[in-house]
């Protein structure tokens, strides 16, 4: 892996913290709430609502068979984890923001994969809405993935690239 052992340890630590916080919060929700129970935190805007999502983001594929979902999500998760690991290893050590973003995304992906392996579905509980208009419920892993992707997009959008040398600079004089 690129970077110093301390830097790599911090990246692994961030990934581990995301996984731990995700799993602890989901366990807490499962132990203290009934399925579909909702506790308003900010009236008409935010509640803790315990749901289980057998599908992908926004409930996609929720109606598919359990076998199809397990194979599909298993394979796509392994592919995504391999891709994220490869990106992380190949990123230059000096790209701290990029590496932190990928480490957060990786932690979120692993957190949701753990749910799929343990329960066959993902535990969601963060319910954001305005009056009766609800955003799909999500969890800490989803939040880490979203924040990581946003930071990565912003980082790459504003990343200063070294300008390529001008043609006149690359040709040697005879």
Give the span between the Cα atoms of 92 and 87, in whole angstroms.
10
Query: 105 vs 109, 131, 133, CA distance in Å?
Result: 6, 30, 27
Instruction: Give the residue among 102, 87, 95, 107 at the shortest CA–CA distance from 158.
Output: 95
Point out the catalytic residue in the list 22, 115, 127, 142. Answer: 142
Active site residue: 115, 124, 127, 163, which one?
Answer: 124
Q: Where are the beta strands (DSSP E) in the chain?
A: 38-42, 46-53, 122-130, 133-134
* Residue 81 CA: distances (Å) to CA of 105, 113, 144, 156: 9, 10, 15, 20
User: How far, in Å, CA of 99 to CA of 103, rounded?
Assistant: 6
State yes or no: is 162 an active-site residue.
no
Q: Is 163 a catalytic residue?
A: no
Beta-bridge partners for 52: 123
104 contacts 18 by C-beta, under 8 angstroms? yes
- Tokens in use for 173? 């004089």
Known catalytic residues are: 124, 142
């Amino acid at each position: 892996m690129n970077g110093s052992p301390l830097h790599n340890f911090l990246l692994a630590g961030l990934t581990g913290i995301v996984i731990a916080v995700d799993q602890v919060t989901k366990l807490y929700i499962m132990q203290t709430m009934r399925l579909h129970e909702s506790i308003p935190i900010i009236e008409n805007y935010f509640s803790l609502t315990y749901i289980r999502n057998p599908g992908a983001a926004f409930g996609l594929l929720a109606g598919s068979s359990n076998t199809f979902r397990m194979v599909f999500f298993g394979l796509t998760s392994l592919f995504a984890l391999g891709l994220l690991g490869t990106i992380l290893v190949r990123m230059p050590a000096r790209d701290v923001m990029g590496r932190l973003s990928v480490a957060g995304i990786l932690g979120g992906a692993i957190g949701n994969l753990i749910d799929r392996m343990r329960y066959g579905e993902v535990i969601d509980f963060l319910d954001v809405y305005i009056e009766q208009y609800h955003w799909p419920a999500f969890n800490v892993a989803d939040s880490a993935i979203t924040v990581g992707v946003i930071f990565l997009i912003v980082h790459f959008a504003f990343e200063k690239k070294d300008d390529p040398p001008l043609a006149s600079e690359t040709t040697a004089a005879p």
